[in-house]
Structures are given as C-alpha cells and as structure tokens.
Amino acid sequence: MPAHIAGQLHATPAPVWLPYPDDVNAVMPSLWSDNVAKGDDGVLTIAGHPVTELAERFGTPTFVFDVDDFRSRAGLYRDAYAAAFAPEKGLSGVDVFYAGKAFLCTAVAKWVHEAGLGLDTCSLGEMMIAHAAGVPGESIGLHGNNKSLAELEYALDYGVGRIIVDSLDEVDRLEAVAAAKGVIAPVMLRVTVGVEAHTHDFIATAHEDQKFGLSVAAGKAAEAAARVVDSAHLRLDGLHSHIGSQIFDISGFQVAAARVLALRAQIMSDHGVDLPDVDLGGGFGIRYTSQDTPIPVAEMATSLAEVVAKECRGLGTNVPRISIEPGRAIVSPAVFTLYAVGTVKEVVTDSGVRTYVAVDGGMSDNIRTALYDADYSCTLANRNSDAAPAVVRVVGKHCESGDIIVRDEYMGADVAPGDLVAVPGTGAYCRALSSNYNHVARPGVLAVTPDRVDWIVTPETYSQLFANDPGMADATRQ
C-alpha cells in the first residue's frame, strides 16, 4: 500500500458489540470447551495437547473435538431436565434426544447412547450410523419432511421408537409401509403452532410459511391426528413442536408449549385417546461471540417444567412425558477448527484499512457465516503476540467474496503466514454442512482426551474426492 495512503487511513472500526481486549492473547473461556487453555507461551492446548503438535502431526484444517467436554454437556442436559421434570414434582419425566443433524458419526452416536440420551435422525444415512454404533431402535427418532419409502421401511425394520410425521401424505405412506410389514408404527405429529423464534429467518421453523410440519391454525394437525387414530397400523403417541434454532428468548418456548398442550387436550377429547408424549424440540442458543447470551440449561429446564405443569392443570389433563432435542448446544462448544494462515493482506476500504487473514479452509468447512450471516470468534493459537490488537477478517481460500469465516475479531497486528488460528464453536453444522467446493477435500474430526488423540472422522483423500469421476481413476493412482 502506498505510504501516503496508509498514513491517511486508520484501521476499519470494530463492530459496537466487539469489546477491545485487555489482553489480545487471552481467550474468553465461555466461548471454548472446558479443556481448552492457553499457556504462558500463547500456545492453545486442548486436554493438555498443544495445537502446534496437533497441527504438525495431523495437519490443518482440522476439527478438534474435546471428548470430555461433549460428554459433560450431554450429562448436563440429561441431569438438569431430569431434575426439573421429576415425577415427585408432579411431572412425568423427560427424555433428551441429541439432534444428530448437528454432527454425527459412529463415535458420537456411541457417546450419546452411553450418556443416556436418545438420538434424533432425519435420513437413512443417519439411521445407518446409529445402527452401526449399536444404538437400539427404541432410542431413535426419525424426522424429515419428505421421508422416502426406503427410510420408512428401514425405520420400521430397525424398530425406531418414534417416527415424527410431517404431512398428510406421509400419514398415508407410512400406513401403507406398516400394513405391508404387518406392524404398528409409532407416530408423533410435527405441528406448527405459529410461534416464530427470534432468530435468523432461514432457521426459524415454526411460523406458517415454511416446509415443516402440520399447521394447527389451518386444521391440518387435527386432520392428521384423526387419520392416525383411525388407522389400524399407526399409533399416535404424541405431538412434536420445533420453533427454530440459536434461540435466546425463553418466551417462544413457553408459548409454543402452551399451544401444543392445548392441541393435545383437544385431540384427546375428540378421539378418546391418551397422547403420552410431547416433544418441545431444540434450538437452544449457544455463545459464539461475546454478544450472545444463552439461557442457562437448568433455568430453561425449570421454566419449561413450570409451563407444562401449569398448562396441564388449566386444561385438566394428565401430564405428558416431555422430550427435548439439543444438538448444537451439546456439540458446538466442544469443537474448534484449527487453521494455518497462508496470506495476510491489507485492503483500503471506504471506512479504513481492513486486514484480511486467509487460512487453508473456508466455506467448504464452515458455510454458516455465508449462509446465515453467523458470527464467530478466533484466536492466534501458536504463540503470543506483542503487537497492538487489530480488527481482522478471517477468510478462506475459495473463489467467492463471501468466503468469510470470522467477520470481525481482534488479533495481534503481527499475525503472519505460518501462524495457526483457532475458531471455537464449530461442532455443529460445520462438518455436517461441509462441501467439496472448488474440489477441496473435507477436513477430518480429531477426538482429543488427556491420554488419546484419534480421528473419529478421517480427512478426505483425493482418491475419495474423485471416486465418482471415472476420468480421474488414473490421476488418483499417481
């Protein structure tokens, strides 16, 4: 940059929510897993393992998974909700289902089951992972707005404990499959209750104009319930509601619970049946940056339990067994992505000089910034910086101007090629939504405990990447 220009411009200002750091080398503990820390040398460690050693041994980019943190969060949800919905408090207990769409592999499925949680799936592939991991069918739920015959057949053969029916078409399809197999399918109806979570439009899923669920207001939920009750091969076990994702406002859950319980009471009265289960979904928000204010787990559990008890008293019904579906809230904080810096570039903008830090991954391993306008934090992971804090933008290597990982964060102004950058909170919807854009191989997932470091998902090879291209057969042998 010409000196006369650089001398006239300041760095681009930080967003109003981004605090100026007292120590640019420090990490904010609430953004990271329990076993992440920084040593006096500025090197990030996880369960005692320096990331410099992990990068040298396993390469970058890599998703780094704190196993003990994941297990701890799963146990926190299990125990907090069990206490809030305990039968001695006049409730009927609770089930916690891990939402596998956030991130799923056989190791995670095993840890979920070992923690006493159920597992929500939404495809044949996810059910196959659960089956291979030894998760019993009764602990599985199957979601999806357009389940195929193959998926429904697999679910019934597997003995899936709940099939969450999403449409009137699916009622007929599932009845035909169950009749052909001579079994009774366990059904929950996914209903839309007109509650829009305070979240991004693309991930708010309970308002009317969207693809999921059976509308209560339009009478579709009541019609579906009547069809299921009248079927000889379907058993109506309950209702399911999901109002969005990354939610920080408890009121949406409270209103949705009240409406679902009112619908349950009406269906039980109209058809003379009991609906023993109500699922209030997931979407519990986490802290990606300092601006996020998630609701403590025990506080949310207690609030939901109070609403369920109050509404059932007012409706004069028995209290159903409640279930919830945290995914992001359990796995996201347990994972960070480790990148290597390749290029640092200062660019003159209308508001000043912006520093772009380009790393060896990008939107192929984290599409959420581009897709949802999500915000992330990051830290220099391989050393301390003595330079003044500067606002940087961490970007990827893909041929898209929107290939941004971290929009704004303070780092030492001396960040340089060869440095390591770690981005926390990448456990959910990063590896799960990863792609091969620009024919880039997807990173692996490295599970870390104090005494072990192992791949639970291996990095994709170029042979795997090109396996479906017959013209690349010779090239991958070279």
Can you read off the two tokens belonging to residue 471?
């013209």
327 is in an annotated binding site: yes
The question of whether 105 is a catalytic residue gets the answer: no
Closest of 112, 124, 133, 125 to residue 152, by C-alpha: 124
462 is in an annotated binding site: no
Q: Give the residues across from 163 on adjacent strands.
A: 142, 187
Sign of the CA dihedral 62, 105, 118, 216?
positive
Q: Could you tell me whether strands 420-424 and 335-349 are parallel, antiparallel, or unpaired per DSSP bridges?
A: antiparallel
308 Cβ contact list (under 8 Å, min separation 6): 85, 91, 257, 261, 278, 319, 320, 322
Angle between helices 124-132 and 106-114 (to 10 degrees): 60
Closest of 342, 328, 293, 358 to residue 426, by C-alpha: 328
Quote the CA–CA distance of 96 and 325 in Å, as a whole number: 6
Q: Is 289 helix (H, G, I), strand (E, B) or coil?
A: coil
400 is in an annotated binding site: yes
Report CA-CA distances (Å) from 293 to 285, 289, 290, 296: 8, 9, 8, 9
CB contact at 8 A, 362 and 369? no
For residue 305, the one-letter residue type is A
328 is in an annotated binding site: yes
CB contact at 8 A, 97 and 161? no
Place of tokens 């329990």: 34
Can you read off the two tokens belonging to residue 184?
């009774």
372 is in an annotated binding site: yes
429 is in an annotated binding site: yes
Q: Terminus-to-terminus CA distance in the chain, angstroms? A: 42
409 is in an annotated binding site: no
Catalytic residue among 122, 312, 399, 430: 399
Closest of 305, 338, 344, 337 to residue 322, by C-alpha: 305
User: Dihedral (C-alpha) 166, 169, 175, 181: value to the nearest 10 degrees?
Assistant: -90
Annotated binding-site ranges for substrate: 328, 368, 372, 400, 429
Annotated binding-site ranges: 283, 325-328, 368, 372, 400, 429
Annotated binding-site ranges for pyridoxal 5'-phosphate: 283, 325-328, 429
Which are the catalytic amino acids?
399
